[in-house]
Amino acid sequence: MSTSVIVLLVIAAYLVIVLATGIRAGIGQENDIKEYVAASGSLGLVIMYFLMGGAIYSAFAFLGGPGWAYSKGAASFYIMAYCGLGLVPWLIWGPRTYRLGRKYGYVTQAELVSDRFQSKALSAIMAIVSILAFIQYIALQLKGMAYVINVTTGGMIPFWLGALMAYGVVLIYVLTSGVRGVGWTNVLQASMMIIMGWVLGIWLTFKFHGGPTAMFQQIAETSPTHLLVGGSQMSWPAFSSALLVSILGFTMWPHLFMKAYTSNSEKTIKRTILFYPTFAIFMVPVLFIGFSGIGVVASESLEAADQILPTMLMQLDLPAWGLGLVAAGTLAAAMSSSDTITHGAASVYTMDFHRKVINSDLDDRKSVIVTRIAVVIFTSVAYYIAVFGAKSLVAILLGAYGSIVQFFPLVAATFFWPRATKQGAIAGLLTGVVVNTYISLVGPVPLEINPGIWGLLANIVVFIFVSLLTKPNDMEHIKKFTEEATVPVDK
Rounded to the nearest angstrom, the gap between the alpha carbon of residue 160 and the centroid of all alpha carbons in its chain is 22
Does residue 392 carry a pLDDT above 70? no
Average pLDDT of the residues in 288-294: 92
Does residue 463 carry a pLDDT above 90? yes
Structure confidence at residue 361 (pLDDT): 82
In tens, the pLDDT along 174-203 reads 888 888 888 888 888 878 878 888 888 999
In tens, the pLDDT along 223-234 reads 888 888 876 577
3-state secondary structure of 484: helix
Q: Which of 219-233, 295-309, 389-403 has the lowest mean pLDDT?
A: 389-403
Structure confidence at residue 408 (pLDDT): 96
State the burial class of residue 153 (Cβ atoms within 10 Å of its Cβ: 0-12, 13-18, 19+): buried
The pLDDT confidence band at residue 156, using thresholds 50, 70 and 90, is: confident
The identity of residue 307, as a single letter, is: Q
Does residue 396 carry a pLDDT above 60? no
Q: Which of 98-107, 123-132, 141-150 has the lowest mean pLDDT?
A: 141-150
Phi, psi of 303 (to 5 degrees): -70, -35
Structure confidence at residue 422 (pLDDT): 95
Does residue 153 carry a pLDDT above 70? yes
Phi, psi of 263 (to 5 degrees): -70, 150
The identity of residue 76, as a single letter, is: S
3-state secondary structure of 443: coil
Structure confidence at residue 388 (pLDDT): 74
Structure confidence at residue 415 (pLDDT): 96
Average predicted confidence (pLDDT) for the chain: 85
Q: Are 128 and 353 in contact (CB under 8 A)?
A: yes
DSSP 350: I
Angle at alpha carbon of residue 49, lines to 48 and 55, rounded to 5°: 95
* Most confident of the following: 162-171, 173-182, 261-270, 413-422: 413-422
Which ranges of 405-448 would DSSP assign to H, the alpha helix? 408-416, 422-441
287/33 Cα distance (integer angstroms): 39
74/153 Cα distance (integer angstroms): 31
Structure confidence at residue 451 (pLDDT): 92
The pLDDT confidence band at residue 57, using thresholds 50, 70 and 90, is: low
Instruction: Give CA separation, 64 vs 267, 289, 364, 476, in Å.
Output: 34, 11, 39, 48
* Most confident of the following: 48-52, 69-73, 134-138: 69-73
The pLDDT confidence band at residue 410, using thresholds 50, 70 and 90, is: very high
3-state secondary structure of 277: coil
Angle at alpha carbon of residue 119, lines to 434 and 109, rounded to 5°: 75
- How many Cβ atoms sit within 10 Å of the Cβ of residue 221? 9
* Domains of the chain with bracketed CATH: 3-405 (1.20.1730.10)
In tens, the pLDDT along 212-252 reads 999 999 999 988 888 888 765 778 898 899 889 888 988 89
Q: Are 337 and 136 in contact (CB under 8 A)?
A: no
Does residue 390 carry a pLDDT above 60? no
The pLDDT confidence band at residue 286, using thresholds 50, 70 and 90, is: confident
Does residue 430 carry a pLDDT above 90? yes
The pLDDT confidence band at residue 399, using thresholds 50, 70 and 90, is: low
Q: Are 264 and 180 in contact (CB under 8 A)?
A: no
Does residue 418 carry a pLDDT above 90? yes
287/335 Cα distance (integer angstroms): 20
Structure confidence at residue 420 (pLDDT): 97
184/25 Cα distance (integer angstroms): 7
The pLDDT confidence band at residue 423, using thresholds 50, 70 and 90, is: very high
Q: Are 34 and 179 in contact (CB under 8 A)?
A: no
| E strand or H helix that includes residue 279 | helix 278-292
413/409 Cα distance (integer angstroms): 6
Does residue 75 carry a pLDDT above 90? no
Does residue 3 carry a pLDDT above 60? yes
241/81 Cα distance (integer angstroms): 12
168/12 Cα distance (integer angstroms): 12
Structure confidence at residue 97 (pLDDT): 94
Q: Which of 38-47, 56-65, 248-257 has the lowest mean pLDDT?
A: 56-65
Q: In sequence order, which residues have a C-beta less than 8 Å from that of residue 197 and are 6 or more positions away?
A: 57, 62, 282, 283, 285, 286, 329, 333
Q: In sequence order, which residues have a C-beta less than 8 Å from that of residue 240 and are 6 or more positions away?
A: none
Does residue 55 carry a pLDDT above 90? no
Total residues belonging to the chain? 491
Give the closest residue to 52 by CA, choosing from 278, 320, 349, 347: 278
Q: What is the pTM of this model?
A: 0.84
Terminal CA-CA length for the chain? 61
3-state secondary structure of 43: strand
